[in-house]
Amino acid sequence: MQAPMDITQKKIVIFDLDGTLTETKSPMDGEMTGLFRQLLEKKRVAVISGGGFGQFKKQLLAALQCSPESCANLFLFPTSATRFYKYQGDDLVEVYADLMTVEERRKIKEAFERAFEDIGYQHPEKVYGEIVEDRGTQVTFSALGQDIADVLGEEGVRQKKEFRVKHEQKLKELTAAVASRLPEFEVRLAGHTSIDVTRKGIDKAYGIHQIEKLLGISRAQMLFVGDALYEGGNDYATKRTGVECIAVTGPEETKQLIRSWLNVL
Ligand SMILES: [Mg+2]
C-alpha cells in the first residue's frame, strides 16, 4: 500500500470488489460495511468487478442499507462494467447492459469444451454449481463451480485459494488454450479460480472510460483501489488509463485507507 494521496482532490473513489472490499465471493464484513457507509456520506464511490450483479447484491448490497442520499453516491459496474447500476431514490436501476449475442456466448462455451480436451483438463471431483456460467455480458469459468463460496462459506474461500496455489500452471494453460480458440475475444485469468471472457476491449480501463463519460468525472479526479494491479492481474488495465491507483493486499489494508480518508474528509 502506497502513501495515501490527497483524497480531498478526488471526486470519486473506485474500488475493485473481490480481494479489495471483501474476501473472494464473500460478503463485506461488519467493519468494512460501516466504513463504506461513512465514505458514501462524503464521496461518490464506484465498484467495478468481473463478478455479476448477483455477486454485488450478495457481497455488497445485502448488508449496506444506506440512506437515499448516500445511495445516490453509489455506482455499480458488474461484469467489468458491461453493466451499470445506480440508485434513483430507493430503487436500484440498470442504466445499460452490453449483452453479447447468443451466438457469441455459444461460441465461447464451445471453446471451453474444446480447450478442456486440448490440454487434458480434468475437473475436480466435487464442484459447486455451474463451471462455465453465461452472465449475458460475459462468460465465466470457475474451476470449483460458481457457488462454492455460497455453499461452503469460508471453507469455500480456503479451497479456492488452495486450488489456485496447486493448479496455477493448469489455469494459465487453460486460459491460453481458450484464448487461442477465441482470438476475437478478451480472455483473462481473474480471481483465484476464474477465467472471464468478454468482448475485446472490455476490462477495467473500459469501466474507467464509462465513469468518465457517464458521470462526467475526469481521470485526474478519480482514485482506484485494487488488489490485482500487478501485470496480468485483472486491475492492471486501470493503470494505463492514467488514473491514480493504490494497490492493497486485501480488505484489511482497504479499511486502513478508508479510515485515513475519513479523518480528513
Ligand atoms: Mg480483486
Q: What is the pLDDT of residues 82-98, one digit of tens each?
A: 999 999 988 999 999 99
Query: pLDDT tens, 8-23?
Result: 999 999 999 999 999 9
* Integer Cα distance of 186 and 184 in angstroms: 7
Q: Is 145 helix (H, G, I), strand (E, B) or coil?
A: coil
pLDDT value, residue 189: 87
CA of 163 to the centre of ligand 1 (A): 17
Query: pLDDT tens, 217-251?
Result: 999 999 999 999 988 788 999 999 999 999 999 99
Mean pLDDT, residues 179-189: 94
CA of 17 to the centre of ligand 1 (A): 6
Mean pLDDT, residues 202-215: 94
Q: Which residues contact 204 (CB under 8 A, 6 or more apart)?
A: 16, 48, 80, 81, 224, 226, 234, 235, 237, 238
* Integer Cα distance of 81 and 76 in angstroms: 8
Cβ proximity of 35 and 225 under 8 Å: no
CA of 236 to the centre of ligand 1 (A): 10
Q: In this model, does residue 3 exceed pLDDT 90?
A: no
Query: pLDDT tens, 102-155?
Result: 999 999 999 999 999 999 999 999 999 999 999 999 999 999 999 998 899 999
Mean pLDDT, residues 24-28: 89
Give phi and psi for 52, each to the nearest 5: -80, 175
CA of 52 to the centre of ligand 1 (A): 14
The pTM assigned to this predicted structure is 0.85
Which domains can be identified in the chain, with CATH numbers? 7-98+202-264 (3.40.50.1000), 102-199 (3.30.1240.20)
CA of 51 to the centre of ligand 1 (A): 10
pLDDT value, residue 2: 52
Cβ proximity of 142 and 148 under 8 Å: yes
> Cα 22 to chain center, whole Å?
11
Q: In this model, does residue 75 exceed pLDDT 80?
A: yes
